[in-house]
Each structure stands twice: as structure tokens, then as C-alpha cells.
């Protein structure tokens, strides 16, 4: 049996990493194998690319260079880790994947959805998530949550950039409503987790992986 790919997406401070890890813990209660990973990163090569991307010292990076680096990390991740895990029947949970490039580089950097999607197809070897949880919340709320830490290169971007990213995600979620489930992230963590669990359980029942 081929495994299943579940991805988490959202703006800064949406709580997606926390929620992805909570879901992984929950899924470990079942007998199927679960693999957790993140982008950029997920492999040794990818983690090195991640450092370049997030380093505030990389502020002179051209937007196409940025896109290519995210894609390079994704290509390595897909072929080295994700596809083999899916082949062996795992449920793979990812903290960000190809939709992040559509939202951040396509909309945020205004490179356009078409170009990013075309290149994503190469970097993902045509792989599409079976389920995507998009956690939405107002940009200002997300930024407030992140305040106090030392912001990485992307977090240092202007509010307008993050607004475009959010708009990109909302468009995507509307258009790919079958695969993408929009979750309101502007509520207590436990409530968000509960909603995600419901969505994932429905999905796993539909796929015949668990029984009602
Ligand atoms: P992440 O570690 O998920 O940061 P956070 O938890 O703060 O959201 O992602 C790192 C940053 O990289 C984040 O600002 C989003 C950005 N990003 C892109 O711009 N394009 C991409 O394709 C990916 C995967 C991430």
C-alpha cells in the first residue's frame, strides 16, 4: 500500500509546527508508521540550504535565488525521504511543502503562481499532498505571537509581504477545497488541535485507513 501525505501550511505564528507535532503524537496511537519532517530542510543537504535561506545575513538574496533554494531543498527531500517513506506505507506529516512556495514566492515575492507551480512539479516529482491543513489567522496576530524572539530573514519582511502570503493561501484553499482544509488559527491551541483531529479522522476514514 502507498502511504499518505499530510501537509501543514500557514503564515508566521499560525501555530502549524505545534499542531503538526500534536497530530504526529496522536497518529502514533495507531499501528501505522508515521514520519514527521519539515521544509526547508528534512535532509542533511536540505538543512544546510535552510540555514542559508533563513540567515538574516542573506538579505541580498534575489527572489529567484530564493525560489531555487526552496525548490532544491524540496527536490532532495522528496526523493531522499518522502517518496521512500510513502512507498513503504508510512503516513508522512510535513511542516510546510510545495504550497509554501506558491504562497511565499508566488504571492509574497510576486513571482506568480504559474511559474512556481511549474517548477514545483519538477521538485516534487509530481507528488501532491493527500490532505493539506491551512491554518489561517490575521497577520498582526501571528506577528504578535512571534514578538520577542530573534526574527529570521523571512520574518523580517514587511507586513505587506505577509498579507500577500496570507491572500495566496486563502486563494489556494478556496480553489483546492477538496485537498486543502482551512482551519481558524485565531483560537486556543486545544481547539485548533481538536478541529484538525476531526478533519484528519474524517480523511483517514474516507481512505479506509481507520474505522468509524
Ligand atoms: P518555518 O521553519 O516553517 O518557519 P515558521 O515556523 O516561522 O513559519 O519556515 C521557514 C520560512 O521559510 C518561513 O518564513 C516560510 C518560508 N518558506 C518559503 O518562503 N518558501 C517555501 O517554499 C518554504 C517551504 C518556506
Task: Convert the pLDDT of each residue in 74-117 to its tens digit.
Answer: 999 999 999 999 999 999 999 999 999 999 999 999 999 999 99
Regarding the beta carbon of 168 and ligand 1, being less than 6 Å apart is answered no
The model's pLDDT over 37-51, given as tens digits with 9 standing for 90+, comes to 999 999 999 999 999
Q: What is the CATH number of domain 4-206?
A: 3.40.50.300
Residue nearest to atom 14 of ligand 1 (CA): 154
User: pLDDT value at position 93?
Assistant: 98
Ligand 1 centroid from CA 208, angstroms: 32
Q: Name the residue at shortest CA distance from atom 4 of ligand 1.
A: 12
For position 2, what pLDDT does the model report?
87
**CB of residue 101 inside a 6 A radius of ligand 1:** yes
- Residue with the smallest CA separation from ligand 1 atom 17 is 100
**Does an H or E element contain 63, and which?**
helix 63-77
Q: Is 12 in the pocket of ligand 1 (CB under 6 A)?
A: yes
Q: In Å, how far are 106, 169, 212 from 123, measured between CA atoms?
A: 15, 20, 36
Inform me whether the pLDDT recorded for 207 exceeds 80.
yes
What ranges make up the beta strands (E) of the chain?
4-10, 34-38, 91-95, 131-136, 180-184
46 C-alpha to ligand 1 centroid (Å):
13
**With 90 as the cut, is the pLDDT of residue 199 above it?**
yes
Judge whether residue 52 has pLDDT over 80: yes
Rounded to 10 degrees, the C-alpha dihedral 173/174/179/184 comes to 50
Query: Ligand 1 centre from 180 Cα, in Å?
Result: 18
Q: Which residue has the cell 490532505?
A: 131
What angle (nearest 5°) sits at the alpha carbon of residue 182, between those of residues 131 and 113?
Answer: 75
Site to substitute for ligand 1 among 8, 96, 158, 164, most atoms within 8 A of C-beta: 96
Q: What angle do CA 50, 94, 124 make, to 5 degrees?
A: 75
Whether pLDDT at 1 is above 70: no
Domain ranges of the chain: 4-206
Q: Whose CA is nearest to atom 8 of ligand 1?
A: 12
Residue 25's pLDDT band (cuts 50, 70, 90): very high
Cβ neighbours around 210 below 10 Å, total: 15
Amino acid at each position: 500500500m502507498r502511504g499518505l501525505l499530510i501537509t501543514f501550511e500557514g503564515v508566521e505564528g499560525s501555530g502549524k509546527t505545534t499542531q503538526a507535532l500534536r497530530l504526529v503524537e496522536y497518529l502514533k496511537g495507531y499501528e501505522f508508521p508515521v514520519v514527521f519532517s519539515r521544509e526547508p530542510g528534512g535532509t542533511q543537504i536540505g538543512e544546510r540550504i535552510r540555514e542559508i535561506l533563513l540567515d538574516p545575513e542573506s538579505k541580498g538574496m534575489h527572489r529567484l535565488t530564493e525560489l531555487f533554494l526552496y525548490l532544491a531543498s524540496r527536490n532532495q527531500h522528496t526523493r531522499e525521504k518522502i517518496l521512500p517513506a510513502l512507498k513503504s506505507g508510512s503516513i508522512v506529516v510535513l511542516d510546510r511543502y510545495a504550497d509554501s512556495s506558491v504562497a511565499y514566492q508566488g504571492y509574497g515575492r510576486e513571482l506568480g503562481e504559474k511559474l512556481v507551480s511549474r517548477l514545483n512539479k519538477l521538485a516534487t516529482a509530481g507528488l501532491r499532498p493527500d490532505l493539506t491543513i491551512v491554518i489561517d489567522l490575521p497577520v498582526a496576530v501571528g506577528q504578535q505571537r512571534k514578538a520577542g524572539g530573534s526574527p529570521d530573514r523571512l520574518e523580517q519582511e514587511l507586513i505587506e509581504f505577509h498579507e500577500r502570503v496570507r491572500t495566496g493561501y486563502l486563494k489556494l484553499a478556496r480553489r483546492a477545497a477538496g485537498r486543502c482544509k482551512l482551519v481558524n488559527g485565531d483560537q486556543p491551541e486545544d481547539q485548533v488541535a481538536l478541529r484538525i483531529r476531526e478533519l484528519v479522522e474524517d480523511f483517514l476514514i474516507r481512505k479506509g485507513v481507520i474505522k468509524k
